[in-house]
Amino acid sequence: MTHSGDARHTSPINPQPAPLWLQKDSEVRTRTSQGGLETISCHRSTDLRVRPAARMIKKMSQCENEFNIPAKNCHRLVIMGSTKVGKTAIVSRFLNDRVEDQYTPTIEDFHRKLYGIRGEVYQLDILDTSGNHPFPAMKRLSILTGDVFILVFSLDSRDSFQEVQRLKRQIHESKSCLRNKTKENVDVPLVICGNKCDRDFYREVQEDEIEQLVGGEEHCAYFEVSAKKNTNVDQMFQTLFTMAKLPNEMGPGRHCKVSLQYCEVLRRKSLKSKKCKDGNAYGVVAPFAQRPSVHSDLMYIKEKAVGGSRAKDKGCTIC
């Protein structure tokens, strides 16, 4: 017969089987009896429930970096305007076909959408800027690195329209300065957007003022839209992409929206294996996109200013 004082017995406090997500390196509690004394030992590790998300982020990052997208297929869209005019709602309508009812001020949001079109991969980065512009240098950096622009004002706010007038002038001034250094004749595709046309309100911005701002420019267009009701949003993006000479399939409704699981399909460019009424055009929103670093943006501008057209031949850098 063995006495309790001569033997060591270990038993779990909770004898119930651990859930599937709880494996051996998660928290384990045991009671150890020796010589009439009881001690409780515990060791803890990371909750494994977070690991699938981490693996997904890693997989997506690897997938994006393996695309090796040529520079000519990489484009950045910058959306600018005053606060509370609906910039984020327009972006959300474009990417996800929905808008949030609750307003949350935007500091700066970055989105990335990847397309597979006729065997080629395209990258569209979208920079949703703050309406307050707390850092003028960052605002100028956003303008210099942008390829296409959407300037948003609210039809019931004259102040927001005046801000669009200032932004349009700043974009042309900044791009003209860069153009003088690169010696390239670069036009800036730009859409001016009067949002909230669904509301019943006193119109503070008249049509003749808008016509004067657009001024019949070849690479400038105007749309009155409602992000909430999805009025003219698709047409606005399609016109912008046409002015920028981007593939028509990048426009809303011109491609199949696929999930993250098809990222590998895009990478291998084996798009012909999928049937789609719009042909071989697919788009996926990168859920974990990160804005390129300020250093990367500065180097991009420097290379454009120094190297001019030579920058077009290099690959697209994803940071």
Q: Where are the domains of the chain?
A: 71-308
| pLDDT value for 113 | 95
pLDDT in tens, 38-50: 444 444 444 444 4
What CATH homologous superfamily does 71-308 map to? Answer: P-loop containing nucleotide triphosphate hydrolases (3.40.50.300)
Give the integer Cα–Cα distance in Å for 195 and 80: 13
The list of the chain residues with pLDDT below 70 reads 1-67, 180-186, 260-279, 306-319
Which tokens hold the place of 188? 């800036």
Give the integer Cα–Cα distance in Å for 191 and 236: 7
Which uninterrupted H or E stretch holds 195?
A: strand 190-195
Task: Supply the pTM of this predicted model.
Answer: 0.73
Burial 261-291 (b: 16+ CB within 10 A, else e): ebbebbbeeebeeeeeeeebbbbbbbeebeb
